[in-house]
Every structure is written in structure tokens, then in C-alpha cells.
Amino acid sequence: MIIVMKADVSSDSDEIRRIIDLAASFPGVSTELHEIQGSTRSLTEIYLLGSTGVIPTAPFEEFAGVERVVRVTEKYRSIGRHGSGIEAVGFEYNGVHFSQETFHLFPGLCAVDTRENVEAMFRALQEHGIETARAGAYKPRTSPYDFQGRGAECLPSVFELAGKYGIKIVSMEVTHESHIDEIQSALVSTGHPTGVMLQIGTRNAQNFELLKAVGQQTDLPVLFKRGMGITLSESLNACEYVASGGNRRIVFCLRGMKTNLGDPHRNFVDFGLVPAVRRLTRLPVCIDPSHSVGSRAVAPDGLLDVFHVTAQGIIAGANIVLVDFHPNPEEALCDGPQALLVSELAGFIEDARITRRAYEARVERATPAAP
Ligand code: PEP
Ligand code: MN
């Protein structure tokens, strides 16, 4: 059961303490307090855990500060919407707001290689007014003989360069719990010039210990990628491990499914699920067109397949696009063949904006005007 408090009730108020005391008076029930920080307001929720099925909602609904009491009927207890009972309030990190209403591009290097390439990438993003980027330091590779990423050694220079070019958030995959500490130490030693969103790659979507580790820290938000060979429900349950650890600042990312049925794309593009994830969860939804398509194939209309599938995700309501770019793709040590060129950045941004505007027009048309 989730008790949603009204916006003006602070989490240390006397009323919340009395609600927690009342909940604790029922046998086998424990409580957890969650404060969700949105851009304009914070929302406090009290989770009642354990044998809550027999608890009446009425005594809780009588408190003046309670907005509503929601019986949790689905399994996505923390990330789920539970029908229309729970709103998707979103979160704020390092001055950037994320929700199911916002829209951000995260272009950048699949893998950090040279300092020059990182700098050229961030400089191009700044020139185009983009403050959020991707940059991989730890790469989970299919073969142990392939480049594994520059690791902790590159972090200080990546963070300093991000700060220099006004990048507020870098999405960076972690493949082991120790990487979280390495990132935190590098942020501290460089004086926090940027922020980091911890990316969970598709290969680790069910690495439950890693999920618990990123979920039990609340400093850095998490971008969770759908598992490539499991159902959406299994991925959402795995994502729930992050949220149940206490970290509610999560983005859910679709990146395609591993099957030959998607050929000639690297993965079967699954962006038709954007509305489903928005309906089932409170999370902002990201798409990764680069790892879905896996090439620079061009359609007869002149647009790259990466542009086309990006548009498919955006027109369905995606909130974030994580996309591979590289200043010199032939030099890239990972996924060069799918990287867009820096000279294509302006066109990509324009194409994304056109599609986002079309999405917004579709929503406006579908929403009945207020009387
Ligand atoms: C990545 O984004 O760099 C990556 C490895 O993606 P995925 O986990 O989706 O394969
Ligand atoms: Mn990659």
C-alpha cells in the first residue's frame, strides 16, 4: 500500500510520524518513507510493506495531509503506476529535469578513446546547445580480446572536459560495483565539474547484485537498459531492484532485442513499447537507436536508419535519446560502424526536434480541450 502525501507536507512532519505509528500498529507491517524530488515540488510517499492486504485504507485517508491511498496491485511496486493512482513526477539531477514530459538528447562516444576525441565531441555538443552526453569508460565486450574501455584512468579528464564544455550529465555504463566508487572518487578529485548517470547495460540487466549496488546509493541517477533477451516484464522487475534499494531517480531505456528477426538491424527495434513503458511505470523512457540499428545504413529517402528509428521512438513519446557519435569513427575502438559523424549532429538534432513537435501536436490533438 502506498500513501501519497499532499505536496506541502514535509517528510519530517508530525502527521507523517503519526501515520507511520498507525501503520506500525498493524501486525506484520513495516514502513518506508520516500521523498521524490521533482523540478517544481517534492512528493512524499509512505510505503506500507508486509501483510497490508487486510489493512483498511479509511483511517489513513482521514489524515488532512494525505492526498490518496493506493493499493499496490501490480508487481512493479516502486516504479509502477498502479493504474492511474500514481503520477510520474520525474526527478531533477544536476540542474536537469527528467520526467515523462521532458525531452533530452544524450549524444556522445560509445567508448572513450583519446582525450582529443572526447574534447571534440563535447565541444560540438556545446556548440549545438546540448548539455547531456554519453561516454563509456567501462565496456562490456563480447570477446575478452576486444578493447575493454579506458576505465578509471580516463575519468578525471572526461569529467574535466565535460565541465569545460558545459556538459551537466554524462551517461556512463558501470559493469561492476567498484566502478561506482571509482566514478565518485573521480568526481570528488575533479571538484564535481559534471554529473554522472550510471548506465546499466543490457548484458547486466539481470545482474541483481549490481542493480542493488546502484540502487542503494542515491547520489547518482541510473539509466537502466532493457535486457536484450528477456521479456519487458522481466526487465521491469529487474529495474525494480534499483528502485527497491532506495534510488528512485531511474530512466528506463529500450535498445532493441537480440533476434535474427530484426535483420538487417543489429537488434530488433522495440520502440513501439515506449507508450507501454510510460503506462506501466513512472519512469522517463529512453531509446538507444545506435545499439538497435548497429550500422550507418541509409534508406532510399536519404535518411540513415538510425534517424528513422530515432523518429519512431520520439513520435511514440520517448523522453531521452542516447545516441553514438564519434569525431573520427574509423578510429573508434568500439562500435565505430554505427557512430554518427559530428557533421551530422545539427541534422540529427533538427530531425529529433521536428519529430518531437509532431509528437506534441499528436498529443494536443488527442487531448480534449478543457471546457
Ligand atoms: C552502450 O550503450 O554502450 C551499450 C553497450 O549498450 P547495450 O548495453 O544496450 O548493448
Ligand atoms: Mn556500443
Domain segments of the chain: what residues?
A: 2-90, 103-366
Residue 40 binned pLDDT confidence (cut-offs 50, 70, 90): low
- The alpha carbon of 134 and the centre of ligand 2 are apart by a number of angstroms equal to 11
Q: DSSP letters of 270-290? A: -GGGHHHHHHHBSS-EEE-HH
Radius of gyration of the chain (CA): 21
Query: How many Å lie between the centroid of ligand 2 and the Cα of residue 110?
Result: 5
Which atom from ligand 1 is nearest to the alpha carbon of 200?
8
Output the pLDDT for position 74.
62
CATH architecture of 103-366: Alpha-Beta Barrel (3.20)
Contact indicator for 188, 221 with CB cutoff of 8 Å: no
Phi, psi values for residue 87, rounded to 5°: -90, 160
- Residue 347 clears pLDDT 90, i.e. is over it: yes
Q: How far is CA 175 from CA 77, 144, 219, 226, in A?
A: 26, 14, 18, 15
State the Cα angle at 100 between 73 and 161, rounded to 5°.
130
The CATH label, of 3.30.470.20, 1.10.8.590, 3.30.2320.20, 3.30.70.1140, for the domain at 2-90 is 3.30.70.1140
Q: How far is the CA of 34 from the centre of ligand 1 (A)?
A: 30
Residues having CB within 6 Å of any atom of ligand 1: 110, 136, 173, 201-203, 225, 255, 288, 291
Question: What pLDDT was estimated at residue 368?
Answer: 72
Residue 203 alpha carbon, nearest atom of ligand 1: 8
Ligand index nearest the alpha carbon of residue 197: 1
Mean pLDDT, range 15-40, rounded to an integer = 86
Residue 42: its pLDDT value, please? 76
- Whose Cα sits closest to atom 8 in ligand 1? 201
| Amino acid in the structure at residue 67 | E
Tell me the per-residue pLDDT of 150-207, one tens digit each, with 9 for 90 and over: 999 999 999 999 999 999 999 999 999 999 999 999 999 999 999 999 999 999 999 9
At residue 369, the pLDDT reads: 66
Dihedral angle sign, alpha carbons of residues 168, 333, 342, 253: negative
Helices (H), the chain: 14-24, 58-61, 115-127, 155-164, 177-189, 208-216, 232-244, 274-280, 289-293, 305-315, 345-366
How much is the pLDDT for 167? 98
Question: Whole-model pTM above 0.95?
Answer: no
- The ligand 1 atom nearest the CA atom of 204: 8
Mutating to test ligand 1, I would choose from 110, 171, 266, 288 the residue with most ligand atoms within 8 A of its C-beta, which is 288
Task: Compute, in angstroms, the gap from residue 235 CA to the centroid of ligand 1.
Answer: 15
Task: Look at the alpha carbons of 194, 45, 104, 264 in this order and tell me if their dihedral is positive or negative.
Answer: positive
Average pLDDT over residues 272-279: 97
- The ligand placed nearest to the CA atom of residue 202 is 1
- The candidate with the shortest Cα–Cα distance to 134, out of 315, 331, 287, 310, is 287
Contact (CB, 8 A) for 184 and 138: no
Ligand 1 centre distance from Cα of residue 76 (Å): 24
**Cell 558545459 appears where?**
166
- pLDDT for 75 equals 77
CA of 261 to the centre of ligand 2 (A): 21
